[in-house]
Structure 1
Amino acid sequence: MAAFAHSAPCWVDVQLPDLEAGKRFYGELFGWTFRAGEAVERGGHGVDALSGGKLVAALAAKQDGRMPTAWGIYFAADDIVATVARIRQAGGQVITEPVRVGSAGVLAQAADPGGAVFGLWQAGDRSGFQKQNEPGSFCWTEVYTRQKDRVDAFYEQVFGFRGTDLGAAGMGESGTGESGRGESGTREPGTGGSGTGESETAGSGTGEPGTGESETPESETPEPGPIGSGIGGSGADVPGVDFRMWSPAGTEPGPDTAIGGRSVITDAFPAEMPSYFLNYFAVADCDATAGTGVHLGGRVSVPPFDIPYGRMAVLHDNQGAEFAVLQPPVSR
């Protein structure tokens, strides 16, 4: 088993009020099949989602109705105890202390200084995605925040991310982090980089990774960062765009090594909108996927549009969980 490099996005899962309805929605939308997830110490139940027989995500039944209906992102940690300590030192909040999930691995949950929630996963028998950056699987993540300076410093200190500022700041301005190591194997949206995980996934969706995301009000969804803003190509100098791409420590910062990013929630949106992560799934046909999502009872909050990295849209599933889809550009 090859674990993901430290700081790489390695897993996503979603908390849903109705697990069976979620299986029907995502099964038809992405062609996923499902198998029972492992029982975990905190109780609950859920299923692993597979695309082409490879693990890509998990769906979990919410055990507490007060919890948000949302997709959660997990970053790989080679030493989860040390990473949790850095989170506290950098001004973040630890929501769930490291807890062993049988032989699968160890998880923790935290929030950055702006309040966006994310998970950590230290692999045991389960590593992370078996498939990503291909249709029906995860391809990108980005955090939305109002406290960009604190949040940028936080992720650099905790994960060792190196930042490339795009848009209003122009390309080529990089931040440097001290911690973290190695390449994640993922790429900026729609570029088709391959992941490094070869074994079973980090989360079963049963109280494992992904149980505390902040939910974004459904009627107020900012347009997504690097791709929504058309950054990284001809849109790199769009006025007012403020986006930072993250590259792992030990890599040259830039689009070729980026594994995610940070965007800013502007004053155009209500003050009560929380910070949050938006996760992207690759699809073969963005327009068809958006149409299918609506047919299945979901809704489109950002209709399909072209970007330098392909064609994208932002959707909510039939229970309100938000996610984005990205159709990579056709090779010529």
Structure 2
Amino acid sequence: MTDYTAQSAQPVWLELSSPQSDVSTKFYSELFGWEFSGAGPLGLGSQALLGGRAAAGISPQPPQAPEGQPGFWSVYFRAESLDTFLTAVDASGGQAMTVVPEFDGEASVALVSDSGGTAFGALTFDDSRGLGTVGELGAAVYFELHTHSPEKADFYSEVFGWTKSTGTSTIREEAQLFTMPGDVDLTAAVVDLSGTQIPSHWEAFYMVEDVDAFAQKVPELGGALLVKPTNTPRGRVAKFIDPHNAAFGVIEPNWL
């Protein structure tokens, strides 16, 4: 895919918070071929480059993080106005958790929870910072909202203007599907966690050429298999944890 610049309501950043960022950068560089240079749009840690374009970021956990806390990935979407975004979040039943109205020039960031309690981030900025690639090998290509309250997923249509339809997820042949606005084909499916103890979360799936070969490589680098390679309605999928128990997924997409 050609260069990507997130438009409003599209994914703009993926950030791994790691207890040992040096170990994490080594793991992901060997796994995806990422090269690390400089800080990402949050001004933390290092950004991962794929063919010279930003694919993600890895930052150290803050000093106040509980000892033994696992790593975790966060998904951020672009907002044109932080105030307008936060007003929409509140009106749609969500809640602001952390807000930084200005940092590093004209940028701002917020961490919020949607009306079902799932956390995600929003970034505003006036330059080209953010993801520089999606939809290519080693980059994010597909997203899923895993929630205990799928009936509240319309929150994202209300806040971001996403278009709701019926499609497929990596779990079901029929699922809520949201198409994000813009000139890049990006979708997010809703996965129902009802009846499970799994916390609600956002997942980004990274595109790989061969899920089975990838699954053999992960344990060799210090990660572990969570979900073995499986054919799903969206393509062949597998899920893993990295050396610090941060979960991530890969996919051979069947729609590209």
Instruction: Specify if TM > 0.5.
Output: yes
Report if aligned partners of 1:115, 1:274 keep a CA contact under 8 Å in 2.
no
Corresponding residue for 2:136? 134
Report if aligned partners of 1:245, 1:258 keep a CA contact under 8 Å in 2.
no
The separation in 2 between residues aligned to 1:96 and 1:25, in whole angstroms, is: 29
Opposite residue 161 of structure 2, the aligned amino acid is G
Say which SS state the counterpart of residue 326 (structure 1) adopts: strand
Whether 2:249 is the aligned partner of 1:247: answer: no
Corresponding residue for 1:299? 224
Q: Which has the higher strand share?
A: 2
The offset of 1:284, in angstroms, is: 1.7
Structure 2 vs 1, CA of residues 104 and 27 (structure 1 numbering), >3 Å: closer, same or farther?
farther
Report if aligned partners of 2:149, 2:194 keep a CA contact under 8 Å in 1.
no
The separation in 2 between residues aligned to 1:104 and 1:137, in whole angstroms, is: 27
The offset of 1:323, in angstroms, is: 0.8
1:61-88 deviation line (CA, Å, top 9, x unaligned): 0013236521111111112210111101
Report if aligned partners of 1:8, 1:259 keep a CA contact under 8 Å in 2.
no
The offset of 1:244, in angstroms, is: 0.9
The offset of 1:306, in angstroms, is: 2.1
Corresponding residue for 2:159? 158
Corresponding residue for 1:261? 189
Say which SS state the counterpart of residue 297 (structure 1) adopts: coil
Query: Which of residues 213, 221, 227 is equivalent to 1:288?
Result: 213
Say which SS state the counterpart of residue 248 (structure 2) adopts: strand
The offset of 1:158, in angstroms, is: 0.8
Structure 2 vs 1, CA of residues 78 and 47 (structure 1 numbering), >3 Å: closer, same or farther?
same
The separation in 2 between residues aligned to 1:32 and 1:83, in whole angstroms, is: 32
| TM-score, normalised relative to structure 2 | 0.88
Structure 2 vs 1, CA of residues 249 and 36 (structure 1 numbering), >3 Å: closer, same or farther?
closer
Structure 2 vs 1, CA of residues 316 and 38 (structure 1 numbering), >3 Å: closer, same or farther?
closer
Corresponding residue for 2:170? 227
Report if aligned partners of 2:109, 2:121 keep a CA contact under 8 Å in 1.
yes
The separation in 1 between residues aligned to 2:89 and 2:15, in whole angstroms, is: 22
Corresponding residue for 2:77? 75
Opposite residue 320 of structure 1, the aligned amino acid is N
Query: Which of residues 296, 315, 319 is equivalent to 2:240?
Result: 315
| TM-score, normalised relative to structure 1 | 0.69
The offset of 1:27, in angstroms, is: 0.8
The offset of 1:121, in angstroms, is: 1.1
Query: Which of residues 95, 98, 107 is equivalent to 2:97?
Result: 95
The separation in 2 between residues aligned to 1:161 and 1:39, in whole angstroms, is: 24
Structure 2 vs 1, CA of residues 78 and 120 (structure 1 numbering), >3 Å: closer, same or farther?
same
The separation in 2 between residues aligned to 1:246 and 1:131, in whole angstroms, is: 20
Structure 2 vs 1, CA of residues 98 and 81 (structure 1 numbering), >3 Å: closer, same or farther?
farther
The offset of 1:40, in angstroms, is: 6.4
Report if aligned partners of 2:6, 2:130 keep a CA contact under 8 Å in 1.
yes
Corresponding residue for 1:204? none
Corresponding residue for 1:205? none
The offset of 1:307, in angstroms, is: 3.0
Structure 2 vs 1, CA of residues 285 and 39 (structure 1 numbering), >3 Å: closer, same or farther?
closer
Structure 2 vs 1, CA of residues 329 and 148 (structure 1 numbering), >3 Å: closer, same or farther?
closer
The separation in 2 between residues aligned to 1:93 and 1:327, in whole angstroms, is: 35
The separation in 2 between residues aligned to 1:46 and 1:7, in whole angstroms, is: 25
Structure 2 vs 1, CA of residues 2 and 129 (structure 1 numbering), >3 Å: closer, same or farther?
closer
1:92-136 deviation line (CA, Å, top 9, x unaligned): 110112432313622111011222110101122334211111011
> What RMSD, in angstroms, separates the aligned Cα atoms of the two structures?
2.6
Runs (5+) with no aligned partner, structure 2: none
The offset of 1:329, in angstroms, is: 4.6
The separation in 1 between residues aligned to 2:246 and 2:52, in whole angstroms, is: 24
Task: Tell which has more relative contact order, 1 or 2 (C-alpha 8 A, sep 6+).
Answer: 1
Report if aligned partners of 2:207, 2:253 keep a CA contact under 8 Å in 1.
yes
1:219-270 deviation line (CA, Å, top 9, x unaligned): xxxxxxx0233x3xxxx4xxxxxx211123599xxxx955212111031x23
Corresponding residue for 2:10? 8
Report if aligned partners of 2:234, 2:255 keep a CA contact under 8 Å in 1.
no
Percent identity of the aligned residues?
26
Structure 2 vs 1, CA of residues 92 and 70 (structure 1 numbering), >3 Å: closer, same or farther?
same
Report if aligned partners of 1:81, 1:98 keep a CA contact under 8 Å in 2.
no
